[in-house]
């Protein structure tokens, strides 16, 4: 078998566990022996090994083990060198935001089939490198939206009331009751940069507190409630008492808020960043706070973050850390925007199901770097069918070559799609012997466009 071919294993005991939740109510009334989708197994069963890092929800870990997968679970992140040394024996990896899956890591993972990001973002993964290796990447773009939005509301009030300063003073034995510089949020203006799932939820919560809401986004979006979209970031900064950021980390958003943008903010206003660490030029922010131009800030994300709880957040990690820590009315939190029990449970459910569907059915719906392809399930009464999952270069002539290889057989169903340079084809064929499988494998592996081919039965 070609080295381009990768196999994945799962036990037959998973059939009922994965399928029943995906069936409609009317279908559930039928005999399970007739309609239960089969959780497919590879032609060559080698056992699926998963590497799970960064204290991902235990429920996700339990779910994988219930499917018969071998799971190694670590509560901390791993460095690039650690991953290169360890990842070679794993078929799947689950991470959060601290672990970086670089091209070097991917090249060291010959068995790797799929990557799960148990968080909103995927910027910690080299998505093009993963796609070119035939590895789809899944994430959970919506599950922690409410948790982040609620944290922003808490920070709005805490900043406007100097809550963290007063609480710290009292803990050190100082009674300092005062109202100077403390405000109600009612009647103030909140400027939201990025009106996606978090920004739009925050918009609704803010209006319920009596805030006026403006938002800026690179595309035109229908506002919720009385929120109003403004044409430029400059307009939003100039009119807002609070500015909160909810954008991905891209080349276009790196240092989106720097010296010039901070000057454009109202004197006495506040900045909140629960997005990504490189979106704000923090030395420039420190200057704006120290000069008194800004009245306060809340920062939950940083350009460099410790890899484990208990590790220092100091000047060796970020050269300005001590200067930022010494500023008054600045709320610093350790990337906890989505760290609620509810959010982590939903993220664990969503991403673990996406990984299991890909490993067991070949489904790529929801992949961020990959063509989204699905076929209806092979059911128990359909007998022996073979599912081909063929990742290949997006170039002319591939479908002709594959269909020529499949022409002696009855193709029950087939679907393909492409995204950029990568294409993905799924096909189910009936009445295939083991000798036929070996022949098909050789034929498809021999095509010049082949990246990765799995045969599931």
Catalytic site includes residue 287:
no
Annotation marks residue 91 as catalytic: no
* Run of H or E including 436: helix 434-445
Instruction: Quote the tokens at residue 238.
Output: 């100039």
Question: How far is Cα 207 from Cα 112, in angstroms, rounded to an integer?
Answer: 46
Based on the residue annotation, tell me whether 305 is a catalytic residue of this protein.
Answer: yes
Phi, psi of 339 (to 5 degrees): -90, 70
Phi-psi region of 196 (alpha: psi -120 to 50; beta: other; left: phi over 0): beta
Of the listed 96, 146, 276, 278, which one is catalytic?
A: 276
Catalytic residue (choose from 169, 305, 372, 412): 305
Of 248, 263, 153, 264, nearest to 193 (Cα)?
248
Q: Which of 31, 28, 43 is nearest to 433 (CA)?
A: 43
| Upper half-sphere CA count for residue 62 (Cβ side, 13 Å) | 5
Tell me which residue of 318, 413, 395, 344 sits closest to 147, measured CA to CA.
344
Number of H helices, E strands in the chain: 17, 16
| Cα(386)–Cα(41) distance, integer angstroms | 10
Q: Which listed residue (96, 278, 335, 387) is catalytic? A: 335
Report, as residue numbers or ranges, the catalytic residues. 276, 305, 335
């Amino acid at each position: 078998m070609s080295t381009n071919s990768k196999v994945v294993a799962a036990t037959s005991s998973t059939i009922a566990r994965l399928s029943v939740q995906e069936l409609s109510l009317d279908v559930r009334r039928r005999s399970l022996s007739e309609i239960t989708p089969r959780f497919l197994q590879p032609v060559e069963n080698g056992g699926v090994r998963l590497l799970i890092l960064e204290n991902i929800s235990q429920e996700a870990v339990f779910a994988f083990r219930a499917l018969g997968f071998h799971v190694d679970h670590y509560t901390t992140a791993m460095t690039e060198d650690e991953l290169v040394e360890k990842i070679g024996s794993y078929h799947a990896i689950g991470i959060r935001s601290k672990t970086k899956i670089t091209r070097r890591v991917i090249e060291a993972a010959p068995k790797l089939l799929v990557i799960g990001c148990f968080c909103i973002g995927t910027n910690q993964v080299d998505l093009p490198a993963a796609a070119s290796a035939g590895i789809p990447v899944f994430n959970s773009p919506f599950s922690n939206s409410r948790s982040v939005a609620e944290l922003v509301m808490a920070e709005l009030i805490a900043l406007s009331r100097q809550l963290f300063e007063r609480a710290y003073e009292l803990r050190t034995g100082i009674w300092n009751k005062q109202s100077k510089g403390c405000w109600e949020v009612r009647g103030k203006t909140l400027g939201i940069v990025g009106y996606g799932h978090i920004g739009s939820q925050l918009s609704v919560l803010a209006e319920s507190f009596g805030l006026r809401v403006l938002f800026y986004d690179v595309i035109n979006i229908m506002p919720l409630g009385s929120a109003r979209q403004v044409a430029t970031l400059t307009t939003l900064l100039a009119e807002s008492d609070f500015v909160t950021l909810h954008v991905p980390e891209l080349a276009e958003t790196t240092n989106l808020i720097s010296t010039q943008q901070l000057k454009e903010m109202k004197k006495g206003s506040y900045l909140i960043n629960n997005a990504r660490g490189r979106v704000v030029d923090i030395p420039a922010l420190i200057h704006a706070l120290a000069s008194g131009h800004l009245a306060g800030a809340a920062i939950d994300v940083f350009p460099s973050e410790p890899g484990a709880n208990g590790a220092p957040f100091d000047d060796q990690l970020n050269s300005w850390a001590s200067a930022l820590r010494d500023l008054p009315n600045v709320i610093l939190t350790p990337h906890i925007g989505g760290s609620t029990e509810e959010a982590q449970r939903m993220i664990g459910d969503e991403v673990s199901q996406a990984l299991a569907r890909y490993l067991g059915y070949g489904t790529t719906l929801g992949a961020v770097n990959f063509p989204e392809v699905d076929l209806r399930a092979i059911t128990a009464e359909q007998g022996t069918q073979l599912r081909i999952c063929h990742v290949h270069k997006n170039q002319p002539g591939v479908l002709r070559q594959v269909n020529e290889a499949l022409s002696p057989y009855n193709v029950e169903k087939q679907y393909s799609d492409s995204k950029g340079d990568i294409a993905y084809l799924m096909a189910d064929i009936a009445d295939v012997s083991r000798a036929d499988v070996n022949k098909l494998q050789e034929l498809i592996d021999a095509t010049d466009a082949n990246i990765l081919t799995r045969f599931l039965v």
